Chains A and B, each alone.
Chain A
């Protein structure tokens, strides 16, 4: 064979660059499918907006905003006699009953909401994918045990458990994200991923891999998991929504040890008795709207991804 392109050929391209190019091509084709859906684009736009919103806070604090006045936790504007104060040129969304800038609080909290959503989603999906793939691959007693654990998790009323947890111990942002990730229901995701794994498991390429000498680990991680990842990614989006929502609920009850979050902003409003006062809308509305919009954004991206992942939903 003299005509083959051997590694010494002039046109030889290293393997990793070929892989990078293939990855880029896959990203482009998937993006084309995703971009067809206006809902997904809108959701992605919202997420990007919130991302920039979060990034802008440290920049504003270090340049335009005076830290003493605009600090989201300890700031106080002594020039204004009565707090809370309605929106003004100095405080675009007004100040809260403790004299802190609402816009600054809103922006400061965004990064934590993102981190919380992402950490808990990754934890959930990691657990769900491992359980789904392992249960489907091994079957038998392993399958039964893992699936009963999943049933248990589905049954657990996780919000009351989180409330008890936060009463017993100090629950910061990371702990909360992990708790939500573990408890808030990898159950449903695991079942869906397992059903997908069952259809992958019986494909002849799994047998072909075994005939080549591939062990269980090799088969699960190079053949099964890549075929499960699209669905896992999809469910990740939905878990983010749930996590942000749960955090808001817990913070509203004042059960978390978090400096500032959207739920805590609503909690402050409630504690000072402004929750039913529509003239103080600037206390309640920004945080609630932010929670709703960010949850909706992740959900919309999830729906659009669903169409990319699931060809049956595509209108073609």
Chain B
């Protein structure tokens, strides 16, 4: 892909290694390669889905993008008013300013709010910490946003505590909180997976609606392909810290290239008892990527694995046409 002005987030060769058995006086013996060499471009206004099974590094990628944890390697470029800035190595005051541009929505609406703070305090916290506006302005902004996310009338929610709200209402509060300082980029870490199915679509619809209204770019982290299909323009499939396939949602879901994506799709239940589908068998379960061998990460479980895969490093992401990239030697 060429460098164009429309790119908001440009992740280059991002890696995170977690040491194992490290102590104060002890060197780490081995490392978990939670995220290794991830490249990802996200255009302004686009929603990108990051899918994969548990433990594949989706959440770590999200935390790296919001700088909750420091990357071991690589760069994250964010397009701002002052041009492209690398947020991977930011510190101090610069970092605090950066916090205004990137926000996160958490998975569990029951744990992502301090039980001792009122809804107002929770939603106004970013404004408070960043020192934006006077108290009256903050209050107006918070009640405005609460109405926007569908908690009406705002005055009846402002001074309640989180435990007085339902799960869906709490997630709406979490969305309001993420959007209160007008961020450009929001990482949503499975925002609907803890919700009842009945309120799930409501929250997803709200998020899309807000994306259009405020021009927010989302990175959706999810393991639910149906959610990803509903919400995202593009999908990136992750396996053991690597992106194995990325492309437009319909391309990836209708014509999967990578054997892992095919297996993932075959695991989605179809609500039709007469439908038969060729099962794609993959062996074993996901393992911890502790000091992985320098070969395809999917080698151990792949039905297509052969000598080429064993002898070579992890395959690069190659364009299969129309911006659909896959990392496999057998395509």
A residues adjacent to B (C-beta < 8 A): 1, 3-7, 11, 15, 18, 22, 140-141, 144, 203-205, 207-215, 218, 222-223, 226-227
Chain A to chain B: the 6 pairs with minimum beta-carbon distance, closest first: A213-B99, A212-B126, A204-B112, A5-B155, A204-B106, A7-B136
> Which residues of chain B are near A204, meaning CB under 8 Å?
106-108, 111-112
Interface class of chain A by DSSP? helix
Given contacts A5-B143, A208-B106, 8 further A-B contacts (CB under 8 A): A3-B147, A7-B136, A205-B114, A207-B63, A212-B99, A213-B96, A213-B126, A223-B114
Q: Is B66 interfacial (CB 8 A cutoff)?
A: yes
Choose from A3, A7, A213 the contact partner of B130 (Cβ within 8 Å): A213
A210 near B68 with CB under 8 A, answer: yes
A208 near B129 with CB under 8 A, answer: no
Q: List 28 A-B contacts (CB under 8 A).
A: A1-B144, A1-B148, A3-B152, A3-B153, A4-B144, A4-B147, A4-B154, A5-B143, A7-B140, A15-B139, A22-B118, A140-B24, A204-B106, A205-B112, A205-B122, A207-B63, A208-B106, A208-B113, A208-B125, A211-B66, A211-B99, A211-B102, A212-B125, A212-B126, A213-B130, A218-B129, A222-B117, A227-B114
Assembled-state Cα–Cα distance A11/B155 (Å):
10
A208 near B104 with CB under 8 A, answer: yes
Total interface residues in chain B, CB < 8 Å:
43
> Which residues of chain A are near B100, meaning CB under 8 Å?
213
B residues adjacent to A (C-beta < 8 A): 24, 63, 66, 68, 95-96, 99-100, 102-104, 106-108, 111-118, 122, 125-126, 129-130, 135-136, 139-140, 143-144, 147-148, 152-155, 158-159, 177, 181
- Given contact pairs A3-B147, A3-B153, A204-B111, A214 touches B68 in the complex (Cβ within 8 A): no
User: Considering residues A3, A11, A211, A223, which has the most beta carbons from chain B within 10 angstroms of its beta carbon?
Assistant: A211
Q: Which residue of B lies closest to A16 (CB)?
A: B135
> Which residues of chain B are near A205, meaning CB under 8 Å?
111-114, 122
Assembled-state Cα–Cα distance A296/B143 (Å):
49
> Which residues of chain A are near B122, meaning CB under 8 Å?
205
